[in-house]
Structure formats: structure tokens, C-alpha cells
Amino acid sequence: MFLGLFFAVLAGLLVGLQNIFNAKVNEQAGTWATTALVLGLGFLASMTLGLVFEGIGLFTMDNMKTWHWFSGLIGVGVVVCLVQGTRLLGPTYAIAIVLTSQLGFALLWDSLGWFGLEKIPFTFQQLVGVLVIAGGVIVFKFSGTKEKKEIKQVQKSMKQYSLGR
């Protein structure tokens, strides 16, 4: 339990940092070049750490199934949807939906136990927990937007003013 939580926190911290770094690269190099770089480095790092911890055994892939090769394409789906969602909705709104949907799907997955993962029965308590977290995400993400709206309104009225002249 403790180790599970520890690794989840570690993963979350690194994802947060990675997103900040990747956004910087994205500004310059565009979505696809950035995605290729990020996944390429992730591949090299995983292979290196795998070799460190498991040695040559890393390459014994006797139980490899065909569909495993295609699972990496989910990552491409993530990028396309994230980029399009952010472009159409703006980052705050888009990320709030992404995070909420992520939690909803997680709950769905635990309760269905698809893909041979251990089934964790759906309870009302779990639903309340997920809803409170999603509420927190929304409060967190939208707390800064009032200011932006004000700026937009000022811009709008300035535009009208200058057009009116």
C-alpha cells in the first residue's frame, strides 16, 4: 500500500515537471516533433533502466503478444486529442475535462476489471470520492479565470472603442 502510494506520487511529480518541460519544447518545435522526441527519449530511458535492473533478460520477450506492439499508438491518440481539445477550448477548460474524464474512466475500469486487472467493486463511497476530487480539479483550474475574463472584456471594449472612432 505504502509503496504503491509512493510510486504514484513520484509518477505524478515527474509527469508535472515533464509537462512543463515539454510545453517549452512544444512552443518552438511543434506538436509532432516534440511528441517524437519525448517518446524517443522515454524509450531510450526505459531500455537503459530495464537493462540496469534486469540485464539482458530485458530482451526475452517470450510472452509478447501482437497487440502489445500497438498499445504505443494510444499515446498518439492522447496527443491528438489533447492538442485539439486545448486548441478548441483553451488550456484551463480542456485540462479540467481531461482530468475529470481520466478519473471517471479509472473508476469504470476498476469496477469492470477489464484486461485481467483485479476487479475492485464499485461502491457509492468511491463515486463520492471521485466526484469530490473532480470538484477540486474544477475549483483549482477555474480559480484564475476571472482575471482573464476581465482582461478579455477590457480588450473587447478597447477594440470597440478604437473601431468606433
In the bound complex, what is the minimum distance in angstroms from residue 149's beta carbon to another protein?
15
In the bound complex, what is the minimum distance in angstroms from residue 127's beta carbon to another protein?
10
Nearer Cβ to another protein (84/153): 84
Nearer Cβ to another protein (80/154): 80
Nearer Cβ to another protein (124/161): 124
Nearer Cβ to another protein (78/151): 78
In the bound complex, what is the minimum distance in angstroms from residue 163's beta carbon to another protein?
28
In the bound complex, what is the minimum distance in angstroms from residue 91's beta carbon to another protein?
10
Question: Helix 73-89 to helix 91-112 angle, to the nearest 10 degrees?
Answer: 140
**Residue whose cell numbers read 469504470:** 108
